Amino acid sequence: MTQPSTPVVLLGLERSVYTRIARLVLEEKGIPYSLQEVEIFGPSGVPEEHRQRHPFGRIPVLHAGDFALYETAAIAKFLDEAFPGPSLQPSGAAARARMNQIIGVLDSYAYRPLVWGVFVQRVSVPLSGGTPNEAEIARTMIAAATCLSALAHLAEAGPFMVSPNLSLADLHAYPILRCFSLAPEGRALLAKHPPLQAWFNAMRARTSVQRTESKYEARQ
């Protein structure tokens, strides 16, 4: 197990969904860390020094002492397994498989329509002085409806998604659904799934969630 004194640095962006997922794991585990902002969406593109850390130019990247790691799901599991603190992965094989399934669904099918298709167009673009692409929003809302139905079906009927305790599935899902909920279309669709809405409301009250709020949430 990594020693608690190992310096942990997360390179990413405060407003990034995937950076926030890693931050939520750090917060829930009680791991001291620093966030180093790396702007990959600027006019100059991904800084060359960051491509040395991540060949695909994505965020976040984790440094734990001399160990460097990219890919958010890998970072989350490493932090859970290498550091002391509450376990964020269920012990049973079926529950752990369900956790990984939900994370896979979020990454493969939910992130792009919920965040880029709806949140970016409805919330982020207008804040930058642009006009939302209504056709893109309408198109991606169809995929978003499928994603929320799938998540509602996979999640347990309890306080958390896959077990009686908080897991990596919850921490992966919340930042994506939070961005989605900042758009009126997202809030309305989430409200059509009462158990998922109840889970979402409970997650919003967690200290880790409140400590990692983005600038977009502060506007609501």
pLDDT tens, residue by residue, 116-126:
999 999 999 99
pLDDT tens, residue by residue, 120-159:
999 999 999 999 999 999 999 999 999 999 999 999 878 9
Judged against a pLDDT cut of 80, whether residue 5 lies above it is answered with no
**To the nearest whole percent, how much of the chain has pLDDT over 70?**
97
Q: Which domain holds residue 73?
A: 8-82
The pLDDT assigned to 158 comes to 80
DSSP 3-state assignment of 129?
Answer: coil
- Helix or strand (DSSP H, E) at 139: helix 134-154
What average pLDDT does this structure show over 22-50?
A: 92
The larger pLDDT score, comparing residue 46 to residue 220, is at 46
The pLDDT assigned to 44 comes to 83
Judged against a pLDDT cut of 70, whether residue 52 lies above it is answered with yes
pLDDT tens, residue by residue, 61-104:
999 999 999 999 999 999 999 999 999 999 999 999 999 999 99
37 and 16, same structural domain?
Answer: yes
Which residues have C-beta within 8 Å of that of residue 190, sequence separation ≥ 6? 148, 177, 180, 181, 196, 197, 200
Tokens of 181: 């909920």
Of 82, 108, 124, which residue sits at a domain end? 82
Judged against a pLDDT cut of 70, whether residue 1 lies above it is answered with no
Of 50, 82, 114, which residue sits at a domain end? 82
113 and 206, same structural domain?
Answer: yes
76-80: long-range contacts at Cβ-Cβ below 8 A with a sequence spacing of 24 or more?
76/21, 76/22, 76/25, 76/168, 76/171, 76/172, 77/168, 79/22, 79/25, 79/26, 79/29, 79/31, 80/25, 80/29, 80/168
Q: What is the distance between the alpha carbons of residues 189 and 78, in angstroms, rounded to a whole number? A: 33
Judged against a pLDDT cut of 90, whether residue 212 lies above it is answered with yes
What average pLDDT does this structure show over 173-200?
A: 97
The pLDDT assigned to 219 comes to 58
| Amino acid occupying residue 91 | S
The pLDDT assigned to 14 comes to 94
The pLDDT assigned to 16 comes to 94
CA angle 125, 179, 103 (to 5 degrees): 130
- CATH code (residue 159): 1.20.1050.10
Judged against a pLDDT cut of 90, whether residue 169 lies above it is answered with yes
Buried-exposed string 19-47: b where 16+ CB fall within 10 A, e elsewhere: bbbbbbbbbbbebebebeebebeeeeebe
What is the Rg, in whole angstroms, of the alpha carbon atoms belonging to the chain?
Answer: 17
The larger pLDDT score, comparing residue 49 to residue 220, is at 49
127 and 61, same structural domain?
Answer: no
Domain count, the chain: 2
Q: What is the distance between the alpha carbons of residues 24 and 8, in angstroms, rounded to a whole number? A: 14
Query: Is residue 88 assigned to a domain?
Result: no
- CATH code (residue 24): 3.40.30.10
Query: Is residue 2 assigned to a domain?
Result: no
